[in-house]
């Protein structure tokens, strides 16, 4: 049974882990899909935004003519390649502000609601020649990004939206050594447009809110149900074990008086026994004792099973010291054992408390009886009663003690510590349960401090009404 539950728990946890992975995979896929949809939408919204913008034409023209002029300078060996490329930022700076303002206005007009940055990046710049092309710039070879226009942003945040290619023939008249000449070349410029959407993650996640919320809810529900099922399974198992233990204990407890009763009645039937008055009397006494014992056992099961809600207290005011001393006197009389020594540390004043004497005494007796029962040698009990704000009673014994692990269930119905040493002692596992219920009915609480082999301290705390 225990093994089955463990396997069930392991399988359920593995199932849950597998489910989490599938869930994570699906959410990730949805995220990617939403992201693509969002980017596609953005691309569509801003596509060819510069087509009908005369200001853009004039900006591109200005850039182009400047570059073409500088390329011709390069062709005429007036400047070198580095100087030529150095012209890109210069011409950009002269027109960029205009460009940025223009595209931002256009984006707004097209209904873009979020911050969107745009950049035109230079991919390649090549002078075409039938014999040998002259590559002035090629992004992958030069291994650096050069942006022509727009906002500067980190390359890892960007999305390419489209590219464009311009091929043009250029001619320029110039004078060399007093002779007028014509320079003509053919060149190709490739650019690519990029966008950077600030906070796109938030926008995409926002679109997924319902999916996310729903999956978190369903997931929590599954975890909750699993936790609840496993917990009830363990509780059921524990209850079943405890009940079996209880049945074994009570059967064991009932067997002895029943066997004695059956033996006694058999004896009384015998003619030779009937003739001897003294044997008859002693047998009747035995029957009486065993009947009483059976009655007591049944009462114990019936009464000690009560929960605190079922306990009807009849409270009265008692002088605490007098009351506790009487309880201890009665207990000492009942144990009839010279090996039990009780050290009393009870306050001597006349403070009083309101409690139900009958129930409270039963609770105290249960603890005191256990101190004697669960002890292998001479019993030393320290009984201390103090008044702070509440009445605090500590009962310390030098018995076999209880491990921390077993203390957790100590006040549960039918619970008995299951080690061999303790099993030799008779009991039904109801005493501490009932004591706890009585203390709760008095709005108090009971605690235990103990370690295996080192005795135990039971402390009861209940509210009182002090005598003024």
CA distance 211 to 34: 11
Q: Is the torsion defined by CA of 141, 146, 149, 150 positive or negative?
A: positive
Q: Select from 42, 290, 370, 396 the one that contacts ligand ADP (CB under 6 A).
A: 370
Q: Count residues near ligand ADP (CB under 6 A).
A: 22
| Token pair recorded at residue 260 | 């004695």
CB of 400 to ligand ADP, least distance (A): 5
| Token pair recorded at residue 160 | 């390419």
Stretch of 99-107, 217-225, 252-260, 366-374 lying at the interface with ligand ADP (CB under 6 A): 366-374
Residues 6 or more apart in contact with residue 294 via CB below 8 angstroms: 254, 257, 258, 261
Residue 428 within binding range of ligand ADP, rule CB under 6 A = yes
User: Considering beta carbons, is residue 106 or 253 the nearer one to ligand ADP?
Assistant: 253
Contact 429, 249 (CB under 8 A): yes
Residue 429 within binding range of ligand ADP, rule CB under 6 A = yes
User: Considering beta carbons, is residue 74 or 359 the nearer one to ligand ADP?
Assistant: 359
CB of 363 to ligand ADP, least distance (A): 11
Q: Which residues of 244-273 are buried (b: 16+ CB within 10 A; e: fewer)?
A: ebbeebbeebeeebeebbeebeebeeeeee
Which residue, chain included where needed, has tokens 């030098």? 398
Length of the chain measured in residues: 468
CB of 442 to ligand ADP, least distance (A): 18
Q: What is the largest CA-CA distance in the chain?
A: 165
Each residue 323-362 as x (binds ligand ADP by CB under 6 A) or -, in order, gives ----------------------------------------
| Token pair recorded at residue 460 | 């009861």
| Token pair recorded at residue 265 | 């009645």
CB of 370 to ligand ADP, least distance (A): 3
Residue 149 within binding range of ligand ADP, rule CB under 6 A = no
User: Considering beta carbons, is residue 147 or 458 the nearer one to ligand ADP?
Assistant: 458
Each residue 383-422 as x (binds ligand ADP by CB under 6 A) or -, in order, gives --------------x-xxxx-------x----xxx----x
CB of 448 to ligand ADP, least distance (A): 8
User: Considering beta carbons, is residue 9 or 242 the nearer one to ligand ADP?
Assistant: 242
Residue 363 within binding range of ligand ADP, rule CB under 6 A = no
Residues 6 or more apart in contact with residue 172 via CB below 8 angstroms: 69, 72, 182, 183, 184
Given strand 456-463, what is the order of strands in its sheet?
Answer: 340-346, 379-387, 390-397, 456-463, 445-450
User: Considering beta carbons, is residue 147 or 433 the nearer one to ligand ADP?
Assistant: 433
Chain positions 432 to 451 lying near ligand ADP, rule: CB under 6 A, are: 432-433
Q: Select from 427, 437, 441, 442 the one that contacts ligand ADP (CB under 6 A).
A: 427
CA distance 198 to 132: 43
390-397 and 379-387 strand pairing: antiparallel
CA distance 310 to 304: 11
CA distance 456 to 398: 7
User: Considering beta carbons, is residue 49 or 411 the nearer one to ligand ADP?
Assistant: 411
CB of 438 to ligand ADP, least distance (A): 12
- For the chain, report the end-to-end CA distance as a whole number of angstroms: 60
Residue 246 within binding range of ligand ADP, rule CB under 6 A = no
User: Considering beta carbons, is residue 371 or 439 the nearer one to ligand ADP?
Assistant: 371
Binding site for ligand ADP (CB under 6 A): 366, 370-371, 374, 397, 399-402, 410, 415-417, 422, 427-433, 456
């Amino acid at each position: 049974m225990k093994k089955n539950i463990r396997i069930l728990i392991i399988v359920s946890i593995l199932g849950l882990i597998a489910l989490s992975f599938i869930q994570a995979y699906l959410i990730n896929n949805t995220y990617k899909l939403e992201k693509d949809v969002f980017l596609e939408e953005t691309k569509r919204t801003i596509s060819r935004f510069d087509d009908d913008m005369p200001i853009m034409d004039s900006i591109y023209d200005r850039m182009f003519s400047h570059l073409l002029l500088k390329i011709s300078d390069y062709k005429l060996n007036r400047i070198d390649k580095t100087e030529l490329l150095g012209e890109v930022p210069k011409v950009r700076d002269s027109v960029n502000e205009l460009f940025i303002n223009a595209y931002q206005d256009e984006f707004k007009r097209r209904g873009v609601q979020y911050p969107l940055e745009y950049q035109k990046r230079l991919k390649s710049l090549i002078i075409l020649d039938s014999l040998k092309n002259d590559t002035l710039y090629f992004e992958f070879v030069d291994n650096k990004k050069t942006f022509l226009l727009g906002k500067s942003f980190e390359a890892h945040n960007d999305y390419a939206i489209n590219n464009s290619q311009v091929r043009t023939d250029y001619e320029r008249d110039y004078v060399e050594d007093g002779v007028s000449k014509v320079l003509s070349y053919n060149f190709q410029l490739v650019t690519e447009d990029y966008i950077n959407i600030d906070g796109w993650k938030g926008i995409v996640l926002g679109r997924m809110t319902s999916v996310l919320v729903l999956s978190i809810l369903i997931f929590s529900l599954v975890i909750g149900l699993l936790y609840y099922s496993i917990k009830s399974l363990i509780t059921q198992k524990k209850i079943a074990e405890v009940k079996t233990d209880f049945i074994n204990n009570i059967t064991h407890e009932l067997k002895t008086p029943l066997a004695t009763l059956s033996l006694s009645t058999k004896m009384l039937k015998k003619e030779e026994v009937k003739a001897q008055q003294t044997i008859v009397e002693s047998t009747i006494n035995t029957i009486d004792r065993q009947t009483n014992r059976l009655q007591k056992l049944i009462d114990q099961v019936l009464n000690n099973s009560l929960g605190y809600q079922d306990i009807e207290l009849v409270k009265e005011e008692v002088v605490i010291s007098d009351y506790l001393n009487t309880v201890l006197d009665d207990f000492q009389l009942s144990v009839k054992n010279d090996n039990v020594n009780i050290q009393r540390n009870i306050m001597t004043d006349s403070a009083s408390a309101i409690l139900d004497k009958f129930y409270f005494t039963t609770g105290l007796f249960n603890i005191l009886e256990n101190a004697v029962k669960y002890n292998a040698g001479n019993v030393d009990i320290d009984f201390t009663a103090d008044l702070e704000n509440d009445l605090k009673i500590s009962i310390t014994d030098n018995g076999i003690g209880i491990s921390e692990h077993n203390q957790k269930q100590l006040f549960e119905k039918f619970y008995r510590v299951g080690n061999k040493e303790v099993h030799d002692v008779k009991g039904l596992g109801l005493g501490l349960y009932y004591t706890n219920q009585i203390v709760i009915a008095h709005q108090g609480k009971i605690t235990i401090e103990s370690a295996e082999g080192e005795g135990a301290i039971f402390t009861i705390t209940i509210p009182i009404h002090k005598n003024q």
